Amino acid sequence: MRILYLAHRVPYPPNKGDKIRALWEIKSLSSQHEIDLFCFYDHEEDRNSIDALRQYCHDCYAEPLSWWRSRLRALIAVVKQAPFSLAYFHSPTMSRKVK
């Protein structure tokens, strides 16, 4: 089976809880399935660590997350009483890639 795995952040290196969990899930799933990983990064070292995930993933797409833009969208969402994380991670480019 081919699985699209969406993550808030690049799950490598596994140095925080969310990255540890995501990497463990990807490793486990990849033993029997093809994984396509789509995620965001906000630090250059995270972008550079994508290559380490290629051993588990059929395809990897990582998109930069703008510090200012993401926080501005989140602030607007709070004012509008909309979901914070949906606004923070919203990306038209990522939406097109997922579709």
Using DSSP bridges, classify how beta strands 59-64 and 2-6 pair: parallel, antiparallel or unpaired. unpaired
Report the C-alpha gap between 97 and 37 in whole angstroms: 11
Residue ranges of domains in the chain: 1-65, 66-99
Cα 35 to Cα 23, 24, 45, 62, 93: the distances in Å are 12, 13, 22, 14, 20
SS3 for 20?
helix
Q: What is the pTM of this model?
A: 0.87
Question: Which pLDDT does position 1 carry in this prediction?
Answer: 97
Per-residue pLDDT of the chain (99 residues; tens, 9 = 90+): 999 999 999 999 999 999 999 999 999 999 999 999 999 998 888 888 999 999 999 999 999 999 899 989 999 998 999 998 999 999 999 999 999
